Amino acid sequence: MYSRVLAAGAAVVMCLGLTSAVQSQPRRPAPAQSGPYLPLNEADALSIGAGVGCSCTLVAGERPPFRDLMLLAGNALTTRTRAGRETCRVSEAQVERINSGRTTVLNCNARRLSIRISNTTAGGNDDSGSDARVMVSEGRRSTEIRGAWACAC
């Protein structure tokens, strides 16, 4: 089921942007909610630099165009809002918790993120895909973002 998303995960590592890689792939529906986040662009992907190891992207959207809303590369979580690109530091322990499927809470630029991935399917060559739910809380407002968590090493 996640083989389509796994192919997209490889695009993150190559910094080519997931959106173009998955637009032609059919996916299960996901809510259109994206909270305060705007889609990442190619410059955001290129900003992570080379040699970060594994990268994971939160891909949201019901049908093309899909939206890459978060990029976790190394110890940095990159997002984009109306204010521009935002980067938060994530500890090794938090990265490990996220990728092991345990709910992980991060405080990132005055927002509280609760990240939960499930139904992980391993692909070939260190790729994986999962269902993802991210609860974004800012003050009294909360938005749930659902999508796929695509990773590649």
Q: Residue 49: which pLDDT band, with cuts at 50, 70 and 90?
A: low
**Mean predicted lDDT score pLDDT of the chain:** 78
**What's the pLDDT score for residue 138?**
92
Highest mean pLDDT among 39-48, 53-62, 73-82: 73-82
Domain residue spans of the chain: 3-152
Q: Residue 51: which pLDDT band, with cuts at 50, 70 and 90?
A: low
Mean pLDDT of 70-94: 93
Contacts from 13-21 at CB under 8 Å and sequence distance 24+? 13/54, 13/55, 13/152, 13/153, 15/42, 15/45, 15/46, 15/48, 16/42, 16/45, 17/41, 17/42, 17/45, 17/68, 18/57, 18/59, 18/66, 18/68, 18/150, 19/59, 19/65, 19/66, 19/67, 19/68
Q: Worst-scoring range by mean pLDDT, 7-11, 57-61, 123-127, 133-137? A: 7-11
